[in-house]
Amino acid sequence: GQQVMQIPQYQHVQEGEDFTTYCNSSTTLSNIQWYKQRPGGHPVFLIQLVKSGEVKKQKRLTFQFGEAKKNSSLHITATQTTDVGTYFCAGGSGGGADGLTFGKGTHLIIQP
């Protein structure tokens, strides 16, 4: 079945540094979504990418979808303490199936 791998598993950064998490799928995706989950909380939808090579920005966050639609990345510029949490990518396979396959997430830890 479809597998979605995410690296790194943990990332420690100093406040103000940039952060990037990478997501790779074993199969071509119809779309990819990104979520943020705070400790003890639930996943919160951030964005969805659908088109090959698509790039979207939300303030300090930049999301990319690879040309082959098998990989994606999330980049945060100048991290702030409010960015702490786990960032998940989730891939959709399309073809009538509507469940998402989540990666294991990247835990972002920010040191002030």
Partner 1 sequence: DTGVSQNPRHKITKRGQNVTFRCDPISEHNRLYWYRQTLGQGPEFLTYFQNEAQLEKSRLLSDRFSAERPKGSFSTLEIQRTEQGDSAMYLCASTVGQMSSGNTIYFGEGSWLTVV
Retrieve residue 9's tokens.
């598993």
Q: Is 44 in the site for partner 1 (CB under 8 A)?
A: yes
Measured from the CB of residue 98, what is the shortest distance to partner 1 in angstroms? 5
- Please give the biggest Cα pair distance in the chain: 45
E strand or H helix that includes residue 111:
strand 106-111
Are the beta carbons of 94 and 31 closer than 8 angstroms?
yes
Q: Is 11 in the site for partner 1 (CB under 8 A)?
A: no
Residue whose CB is less far from partner 1, 13 or 50:
50
Contact region with partner 1 (CB under 8 A), list: 11-19, 26-34, 53-61, 69-77:
26-34
